Amino acid sequence: MKKRTLGKQAMPSTVPLLELPGRALSDSGESASLRLLEPAQCDPDAICVQIETGCYGKPFIVEDGQTRRLHFSLDLIQSAMRFDDPYALEFAYTRKMMAFLLFVPNPEHVLMVGLGGGSLAKFCHRHLPGTRLTVVEVNPDVIALRAEFQVPEDKRLAIIQADAAEYLPAAEGDTDVLLLDGFDSKGIAPTFLNRDFYQAARRRLRPGGVLVANFAESRKYWSRHQALLNEAFAGRVRWGTVPGGDNHIAFAFAEAGCSFDWEGLEERADALADRFPLDFPALVHSLREGAELRWAKVSGR
């Protein structure tokens, strides 16, 4: 295994935020408060215009009394946290990504690319107490908001400020599960669209490891990523559907022999449902549905 130092661990800190209560957001007309990484002496009206026109260059928080949401733009919610259950996985695609537990139920090390509001990091930290967690996030402003989303401060959870395209090649064979959920204001992080990136991701996995990637919006925006992922993993990629949304979840396996034993997975799902607050039988069903849909397309049925 090769390894070199890259990136720096972000130290937890409390960042004062500018709060603008009672703002009507242009996308829906809802009245909500904005919380911003801005000094008190800034021009709030000018900033609101930038947000409404999509020209604001920083992540920001929208609160409606029930949820706290991380935005890159008004039409792109990066993450959401319910005040009544801060550790719940609010978005269906995050619950689907946790289906990796069907294949690696007791990971020693989970590496995540993309912090967002920390939903996956928080869930894994709470429900996988024996797992070491590393999160790679390129945007320091996203990291600065971690406390707002109650991301734990713990030695088991390291948050590294680095570009994943540079970080992943820095080591090999040290990860059981690699979660890719890296987006900027325009979509999937552009540095991911590279053959070397997906090859480095494959090499990062230990034998038996799995990569889980979230792809959003129309397939035309991520079809090239799909091709590179299939190439890096020699076709050992399976897809899961996410009902009611534009997310598609890919499961890529480090080793051959990833043909699914559906009866075995259903039995494993029942056991996992007793350990985690997730509907694993439904996750197996959606995985099977995605596999059958892909086979129908390949066979022309």
- pLDDT tens digits, residue range 94-149? 999 999 999 999 999 999 999 999 999 999 999 999 999 999 999 999 999 999 99
Which of 9 and 18 is assigned the larger pLDDT?
18
Residues classed as catalytic: 181
Q: 161 near 94, Cβ under 8 Å?
A: no
Residue 170 pLDDT grade (very low, low, confident, very high; cuts 50, 70, 90): very high
> What are the C-alpha distances in Å from 39 to residues 16, 17, 19, 36, 120?
8, 8, 10, 9, 30
Mean pLDDT of 240-248: 77
Q: Which two tokens stand for residue 29?
A: 């007309």
Check residue 24 and give its pLDDT.
58
DSSP the chain: --B---SEEPPP-----EEEEEEEPTTT--EEEEEES--TTS-HHHHHHHHHTT---S-EEEE-SSEEEEEEETTEEEEEEETTBTTS--SHHHHHHGGGGGT-SS-SEEEEE--TT-HHHHHHHHH-TT-EEEEEES-HHHHHTGGGGT---BTTEEEEES-HHHHGGGBSS-EEEEEE--EETTEE-GGGSSHHHHHHHHHHEEEEEEEEEEEES-GGGTHHHHHHHHHHTTT-EEEEE-TTSSEEEEEEESSS-----HHHHHHHHHHHHTTSSS-HHHHHHHHHHHHHHHHHHHHT-
Q: Is the pLDDT of residue 35 over 60?
A: yes
Check residue 300 and give its pLDDT.
44
Mean pLDDT of 3-26: 66
Mean pLDDT of 169-179: 97
Summarised one tens digit per residue, pLDDT across range 38-62 is 998 999 889 989 998 889 989 999 9
Residue type, 111: L
Q: Is the pLDDT of residue 220 over 90?
A: no
Check residue 231 and give its pLDDT.
96
Check residue 10 and give its pLDDT.
65
Q: Where in the chain is the domain with CATH 3.40.50.150?
A: 92-299
Check residue 293 and give its pLDDT.
55
Report the percent of the chain where pLDDT is more than 90: 60
Q: Which residue has the tokens 């937890």?
A: 12
Check residue 2 and give its pLDDT.
42
Residue 5 pLDDT grade (very low, low, confident, very high; cuts 50, 70, 90): very low
Q: 103 near 210, Cβ under 8 Å?
A: yes
Mean pLDDT of the chain: 87
Residue 179 pLDDT grade (very low, low, confident, very high; cuts 50, 70, 90): very high
Summarised one tens digit per residue, pLDDT across range 116-129 is 999 999 999 999 99
CATH homologous superfamily for the domain 92-299: Vaccinia Virus protein VP39 (3.40.50.150)
Check residue 269 and give its pLDDT.
94
pTM for the predicted model, two decimal places: 0.89
